[in-house]
């Protein structure tokens, strides 16, 4: 897959390609903390100071890459990868190197790429997470088919970060640890009434009901997820403890002892963050407590990221956004009486989770294509998983457990312990 020798003749490069190549290479020449080797029809160039562990080789198989980067910036580079215009021997190292040199990438977003960014922002506004918009956005990502996700997720079908105690343990062990950590932080016990916003494929609901004896009401707006979650509850014989709804979180009714929402906050849209936090309060009893597992971005980059459209918003998960811790806390204060009781960051575990998913995905490439997905789809997902892994390794994005409590919650006993 990463063979750097092209199997077909390279397309001819013209004068415009040569000009755009010179401009891009000049922008990237001062790379710090590593080295980037670029091979194309014009020859081979080494970029960067070479000081640091991050090394990557990029082979440009089609000079259209330079035109796409000039026209669309970093989003164009990602699209160019999907189309097979370039390859890399270590995508994660490349992402990490570019994250460390984010200031140099700003030059890629100027000129025509800036105009393209305006158009993409307009397109993204059409993906607003109203009730109908949320159903469309969720379907675009999660309704690819249950069999597809089963190819690379852990056996419990948790599409969220696991919690690793050591790097060499299995994804299954780390995923179960994450579920137990959530249950322990919430102090789940028999008789507790728990509401879950974002069912996934029912992994948490089944685990909590089976191992902690609580009653779980869980909701999703994905038809594919709902069907399989219902089946998994039935197969586990937990119909008396787990209710699986297909309902927008904003329409949930009742009050519960505990609330769980695992990496669902990224799907609500920035403009609905206050609505989400207000809903958490409304669904909890006065002494209730909530556990959020949330992907977060650095506080100082939140506003820029919120306004822009990156590779994931464009090609993977339309309508998504990544909040910052400060943005979550501000919305909590504006819209609820919830208080932060505990926070645990475990971003390195997400990098390990993504690495496991990517390795499994690549090993199942033939099976993915047998389900009707083409090579471009496979490259889209390969880049997506590497892109995210690099981001977590560089801590430009993180993941946290946030324990949020109503005023009547008792905190005299420590919840959950440390990793």
Catalytic residue chosen out of the listed positions 88, 378, 388, 410 = 388
End-to-end CA distance of the chain: 36
* Cβ–Cβ under 8 Å, residues 198 and 224: no
Tokens of 51: 């000081």
- For 399, how many CA atoms within 13 A lie in the half-sphere containing its CB? 25
CA 99 remoteness from chain centre: 16
In 3D space, the residue among 152, 162, 46, 167 whose CA is nearest the CA of residue 364 turns out to be 152
CB neighbours of 287 closer than 8 A, spacing ≥ 6?
257, 406, 408, 409, 410
Q: Respond yes or no: is residue 214 known to be catalytic.
A: no
CA distance 52 to 25: 20
**Catalytic residue numbers, as ranges:** 388
């Amino acid at each position: 897959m990463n063979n750097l020798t092209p199997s077909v003749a390279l397309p001819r490069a013209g004068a415009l390609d040569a000009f755009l190549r010179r401009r891009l290479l000049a922008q990237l020449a001062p790379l710090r903390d590593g080295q980037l080797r670029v091979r194309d029809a014009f020859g081979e160039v080494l970029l960067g100071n070479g000081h640091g562990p991050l090394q990557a080789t990029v082979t440009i198989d089609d000079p259209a890459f330079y035109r796409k980067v000039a026209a669309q910036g970093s989003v164009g580079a990602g699209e160019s990868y999907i189309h097979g215009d370039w390859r890399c021997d270590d995508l994660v190292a490349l992402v990490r190197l570019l994250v460390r040199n984010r200031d140099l990438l700003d030059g890629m977003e100027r000129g025509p790429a800036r105009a393209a960014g305006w158009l993409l922002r307009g397109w993204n506004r059409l993906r607003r997470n109203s009730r109908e918009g949320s159903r469309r956005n969720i379907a675009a990502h999660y309704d690819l088919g249950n069999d597809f996700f089963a190819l690379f997720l852990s056996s419990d079908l948790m599409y969220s970060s696991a919690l690793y105690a050591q790097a060499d343990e299995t994804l299954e062990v780390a995923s179960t640890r994450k579920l137990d950590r959530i249950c322990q932080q919430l102090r789940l016990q028999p008789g507790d009434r728990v509401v879950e916003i974002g069912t996934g494929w029912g992994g948490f609901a089944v685990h909590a009901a089976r191992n902690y004896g609580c009653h779980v009401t869980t909701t999703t707006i994905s038809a594919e997820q709902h069907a399989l979650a219902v089946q998994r509850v039935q197969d586990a014989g937990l119909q008396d403890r787990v209710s699986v709804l297909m309902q927008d979180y904003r329409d949930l009714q009742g009050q519960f002892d505990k609330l769980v929402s695992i990496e669902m906050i990224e799907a609500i849209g920035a403009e609905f963050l206050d609505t989400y936090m207000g809903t958490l309060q409304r669904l909890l009893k006065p002494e209730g407590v909530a556990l959020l597992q949330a992907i977060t971005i650095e506080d100082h980059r939140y506003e820029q990221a919120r306004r822009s459209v990156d590779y994931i918003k464009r090609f993977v998960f339309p309508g998504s956004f990544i909040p910052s811790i400060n943005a979550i806390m501000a919305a909590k204060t504006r819209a609820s009486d919830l208080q932060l009781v505990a926070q645990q960051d475990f971003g390195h575990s997400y990098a390990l989770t993504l690495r496991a998913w990517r390795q499994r995905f690549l090993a199942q490439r033939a099976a993915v294509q047998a389900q009707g997905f083409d090579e471009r789809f496979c490259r889209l997902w390969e880049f997506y998983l590497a892109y995210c892994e690099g981001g977590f390794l560089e801590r430009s994005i993180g993941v946290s457990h946030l324990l949020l409590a109503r005023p009547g919650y008792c905190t005299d006993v420590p919840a959950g312990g440390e990793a």
